[in-house]
Structure 1
Amino acid sequence: MPSRLALCVDAAPVFLLEMAQARTIIDAQIAIIRARFDATCDDAGISAVDRELLRDRQFLNLYAFEGYV
């Protein structure tokens, strides 16, 4: 079962984080992935087709964002 970001936020107190802190961490990670994804794929020699598959299915899968506002 894939992870969801909302579940990570809900679990934040278990890791001694405030929910706002968890959101800040998640938002920063998302921003970094979006900002550096293409350059990283270029460096790795990943084709345009594989790049889109990785972006939408592995790293920024829409299911992961369900319930995360």
Structure 2
Amino acid sequence: MVFGIQAQEGEFRRGDLVRCLDPGGREIARGLINLDSHLLQHCRTQLAEEGDVADDFRVAIHRDNLVRSQT
């Protein structure tokens, strides 16, 4: 099983409500994002290239700001 952000779509700002989808495109959660879309993309790229990034960028959506969808 793969965890974490595999892709992102659209533009958003820190504090926006975003949908979290499974690989099949089904909504699994919604949450308040901690990063702007361009910064999140940069952090994901940096993680892939360097294998590490500052702790502040490890949590895109804190669990206190996440609601799982009913299935």
Common fold by TM > 0.5: no
Say which structure is richer in strand.
2
Give the TM-score of the pair, scaled to structure 2: 0.31
Say which structure is richer in helix.
1
Give the TM-score of the pair, scaled to structure 1: 0.32
